[in-house]
Amino acid sequence: MPRLPGYRRLPSSKISIEKILEDKGLKPRDDLSVIEALERSEIFVAAKTWQRFWEGKQNIDRATFKQICEFLGLDWQEIVEPSQNIVRTDPVPAEPNFYGRTEELAQLKNWVTNVNCRLVIVYGFDGIGKSSLVAQLLDRVRDSFEQVEWKTFSYGDSVESTIIDLLQQLDATDAISDLNQLQLRERLWQQLQHRCLIVLEQEPDGCTDKFEDYKQLLRKLLQMHGKSHHSCILLITSYEKPDEVTAVADRQDAAQSMRLGGVDIATGLEILKSKEPKLVRDIAAASELVARFDGYPLALKLVSSHIRDRYQGDVPEFLRNLYIPQSIEDIVRRSIDDLDEAARTILDILKDAEPMSQPQLHEACGDRIKSDLDFIKAKDILERRSLLTRYEGDTEDGREFLFGLEEVTKHAISSLK
């Protein structure tokens, strides 16, 4: 996809820029002195680029535009021509040490640049790396969109409050506080007509009060697909995959979902090394540590500190006395607190068992789950909350999917008893 045009400044900003340059002892048309001053600030631009910026009649590269504004002490969003493709990414979470996830990034990029896609859900346990992954994605796709917005939200917030906040970010000039619920949603649909990417990052607060309301909003969003020129993409990070996504997954690629699991061994070793280099001196033990924690980034970071402080970096000794950090147990607890008895039965059976096929699991539940429908619903919610994992394996009936719990989940559930 071709890059979108760069930025040019507002004509009205010329006077203030000239005053700033004078205060710096510079003259805007003295290209050499300006270029030298920029270079002293480690900003390297050609004379023609500065001329285009100063004259304000042609676009220049977005990154260069922002650097020049920073040199001048100006907020670039206040002087950029408003008709241009403004991309606001604050407050995108910073991740100084991001490793791996190459395949996941490629898949997400393919989805969000697909003209038919309207909704992408990245779901998984808190601390698995959803927000960091999406932040990396934005660096790769932002030039494909007219506008990018990032907003944190909670399933405890009302849908209306989230929509109001979104509208204020999408179009800060509109007065929207007096609009009723229907008007708010209509205004949102209008804003979604242009090519924008909206990231909604769920806060890890455990709130689920308004989850059903958000599912209704997603249902409405997906119903719009094919009925209008709606071309915005909504990308949500969530602890749970809404069932609405599954219902429309085969509808012209309108909705896609990615369960984000742990990282591979190599990436896990990089995480350990970034926390405490001596943890990876024994590669075999460090690799086993990553495997025992299923490549769960947050867990690896937490146990790294524990191994360093309590075991003087002795990974094998820690593995003989394996423990699950309290914060990880809390994350699992939040995921199972509101589960019904059928779902808890499946967890109870699998916490001490190897993965098994669906018929085997159903048989193991016996009379503890009343009906086939209750079993299917329980298995479904456990998968959507990343508690139940599918594995491809061999059984007496041939090769089929097996269902089991990851090691971290097993240990955490056992600790909660």
Give the pairing of strands 389-395 and 398-404.
Answer: antiparallel
Domains and CATH numbers, the chain: 11-79 (1.10.260), 102-259 (3.40.50.300), 265-323 (no CATH), 329-416 (1.10.10.10)
> What pLDDT is recorded for position 232?
80
Q: Cα 304 to the chain's mean position, in Å? A: 24
* pLDDT over 50 at 246, yes or no: yes
Quick one: average pLDDT of 198-221? 74
pLDDT (0 to 100) of residue 406? 93
pLDDT tops 70 at residue 306:
yes
pLDDT above 70 coverage of the chain, percent? 82
With 60 as the cut, is the pLDDT of residue 88 above it?
no
Q: Which of 6-10, 147-151, 366-370 has the highest mean pLDDT?
A: 366-370
| Whether pLDDT at 266 is above 70 | yes
Distance (Å, rounded) from C-alpha 194 to C-alpha 8?
21
pLDDT of residue 106: 95
pLDDT band at 94 (very low <50, low <70, confident <90, very high): low
- Highest mean pLDDT: which range of 183-187, 241-245, 266-270: 266-270
Rounded mean pLDDT of 278-294? 95
Q: What is the pLDDT of residue 394?
A: 67
Q: Which pLDDT score, from 0 to 100, does residue 164 have?
A: 73
Say yes or no to pLDDT of 286 above 90.
yes
pLDDT of residue 173: 44
Residue 361, pLDDT above cutoff 90: yes
What is the predicted pLDDT for the residue at 316? Answer: 94
Lowest mean pLDDT segment, chosen from 65-79, 99-113, 336-350, 385-399: 385-399
Q: Which DSSP string corresponds to 272-322?
A: HHHH-GGGGSSHHHHHHHHHHTTT-HHHHHHHHHHHHHHSTT-HHHHHHT-
Judged by average pLDDT, the poorest of 208-217, 253-262, 344-353 is 208-217
* Lowest-pLDDT choice from 26-40, 87-101, 110-124, 339-353: 87-101
Q: Mean pLDDT over residues 7-20, rounded?
A: 83
Per-residue confidence (pLDDT) for residue 363, from 0 to 100 = 95
What is the average pLDDT across 250-272? 86
Tell me what the mean pLDDT of segment 139-146 comes to. Answer: 82
Mean pLDDT across 175-186: 68
Cβ contact 267:296 at 8 Å: no
Output the 3-class SS for 129-148.
Answer: CHHHHHHHHHHHHHHHCCEE
Task: Kindly list the strands in the beta sheet with 233-238, ordered across the sheet, starting from the edge strand earlier in the chain.
Answer: 147-153, 196-202, 233-238, 119-123, 255-259
Q: pLDDT grade, residue 4 (50/70/90)? A: very low
Q: 365 pLDDT exceeds 80?
A: yes
**Mean pLDDT over residues 222-239, rounded?**
70
CA angle 99, 104, 109 (to 5 degrees): 115
273 close to 301: Cβ distance less than 8 angstroms? no
Is the predicted pLDDT of residue 314 greater than 90, yes or no? Answer: yes
Average confidence (pLDDT) over 322-350 = 90
Q: What pLDDT, on a 0 to 100 scale, did the predictor assign at position 362?
A: 95
CB 369 within 8 A of CB 345: yes
Write down the mean pLDDT value for the chain.
82
What pLDDT, on a 0 to 100 scale, did the predictor assign at position 280? 94
pLDDT given at position 2: 32
Burial of residue 263, with CB atoms counted within 10 A of its CB: 0-12 exposed, 13-18 middle, 19 or more buried: buried
Per-residue model confidence as pLDDT tens digits over 102-133: 999 999 999 998 877 888 999 999 889 998 99
Instruction: State residue 148 phi and psi, 5-degree precision.
Output: -130, 130
Structure confidence by residue, pLDDT tens digits, 369-407:
989 999 999 999 999 999 999 988 766 666 788 999 999
pLDDT, position 89: 46
